[in-house]
Structure 1
Amino acid sequence: MTQTTDLLAQLADIDPASPLAAARQQRDAATRHSQGSYLALFSNGSTDFPLQQRLAVAAQVASWHQEDQLAAHYASQTASIPQNAAYQLALDHAQRLTFQPVSATAEHLVILQQAGWTPDAIVTLSQIIAFVSFQSRLVRGYRLISGYSVTDSHTAFSAGEWHHQPQTQTGKAAPVRFTTAELGWEPWIAAKPLAEYDAEQQQTLARFGHTDSDYFRLLGRNLPVLEQRTLTDKGIFYTSAGLPRAERELAAAVASKVNGCIFCASVHARKAAQLSKQPEAVQRLLDTPPGGQLSAQQSSRWQAEIDFAAAISATPASASAQQIQQLRAEGLNELELLDLLQSAAFFAWANRLMLTLGEPFIPAEHNQ
């Protein structure tokens, strides 16, 4: 696959002369590296995960998200593939990550490995499922910002369920409620040891500060994808102008509440609280019980932003034209709308990796 066009712009029918196209050009790093992530995943296959299987999984995930054009894009490149037990387990993994990532356990990864899936292939499989979850939300959000009609998925958007087990698989204390405290995270399949990366690969890890992180050395089992994903992240969250950084972090925390990702929520709620200087408002968000309205008792601007971020994070996404109108009424311009969308959508990707490849724990020094 050698496609160099902007796939998301094509699928969302973005007018090159539109304000949205100009905003995406202003966020050029996020735009380029979202496309780069796509190419890293789908330009080639590997012995342990052929390209045709990758495309077939992506088509199914996009279909589950009810993004028909995205599903058709992947399906159009997919030939017939063997429907064996190992592939069916991959689809089971895909369905779990798509609809209920918080239900994943270490045993699910053991079962995949017993069926012949290598650790590298499991990481790539998880990246594909999570990445298509990100793509599907961007396509819907871009259409809404452009003023196109979208199908109403009727999916409720509210605080999701989360884990309540008091211990991790290895016996560490596990968090059972959302918090702004710093947490640890441990993988369910082995992070690739630093010594197994060559000198150039070690430089790539070091450039992004990933060397000492089990999470990133695990994702480094597919380093080209990790590199593009990291650059996408930086292009969304670490850019000037547009939506205030505190509100981008708020969107990340909202997505994490919808998906039940306590670890991601702890990081981004903490940043949102610090940057906004509204720790009480952020804590209200974190304290919302499963099924609760995440925007309750917030300012009108935060209510509009939280409702949109939660709706775009639902599966299938249910963000609506009315929500875009409300955001515009609160003063958000095209670039700010783009920042809000991309911040929430990125955590459809991030949450699905963190929830299904490992789990958070409370560091010993915080558990006294």
Structure 2
Amino acid sequence: MNDIIIVTGGAGFIGSNFVLSWIANTSSEVVNLDALTYAGNRKNLLSLDRDSRHSLVKGDIRDTALVTSLFRTHKPRAIVHFAAESHVDRSITGPDAFVQTNVVGTFSLLQAAKTYWETLDADEKSKFRFLHVSTDEVYGTLKPEDPAFSETTAYAPNSPYAASKAASDHFVRAYFHTYGLPVLTTNCSNNYGPYQFPEKLIPLMILNALEGKALPVYGDGLNVRDWLYVEDHCSAIRAVLEKGRLGETYNIGGSSERTNIEVVHAICDILDELQPNKALGSRRNLISYVQDRPGHDRRYAIDARKIASELSWQPQQQFEGGIRKTVEWFLQNMDWVNDVRSGAYQQWIELNYAERLSL
């Protein structure tokens, strides 16, 4: 076994941030397996082009022969599994891809990891880890007065995306209890930060507001999310991988509950300060309330006391500072933005928002 980890989905938003932070904070190597679909972007990792500790492999986690070859060749001490279809709106219009990647893909990865793990000697077996990155959406929705999601909250997924992630979580748990595979699971709240694909709420609002386009806010805008700066998420995953108890789940939150409309207002105000536009006036005027999406969960909130007490982890970035850093990053990286906003992306935005904006 070598001082190498395999990261799946490491060219996506959270995955690429994790790979960058891993290389910056450790001395070990990363083999990065990514299918490089619409949300995976080699340019997220340009700073590692000449770093021999990072290698990017284009491939699908369902490709058992490829994954088995990577295990056999590199003999990793851990696998950190980010690869997933993750956009709720896309899961509503095309749920089949979510079943294939999130459920079948995770199952295939578990099978390959189990086969590899069984070839290790006792000492290597005890050191190996399979860390599965999941979401708070598996827990369903909360009322305003409900306590935050804990690791013992019953699963109640309300979207095809959440259902697919719940299924993958259950498979990971089953491989620990049935086969003894040394797994760890993390369930995080909504991430934001650099390299986030522009279909998600925060980058979509930043870029539309910058260009003077309508800012489509679902329903009454009062849906609540706990916002987690992506660098904090990455540090939490490193802590779980290093010190987490086998078979356990750790909820990771940002301690930053905000309504969607509060998030949009913050973005508008920061852009008005950093890039004022007299013709537009206040960018809050661009807000357009649109038809809510089906099954839209009202509130998510994370109880992160377990990871704090067991692993001494807490988020370092408060929302006000994190959202400003995020806006500034997008303003400074418009070449990256223009590159990822392909024709396929524009077609998706048209499909998802055009009818809603006309209401």
TMscore range, shorter length: under 0.3
TM-score, structure 2 normalization? 0.28
More strand by share: 2
With a CA cutoff of 8 Å and minimum separation of 6, indicate the structure with the bigger relative contact order.
Answer: 1
More helix by share: 1
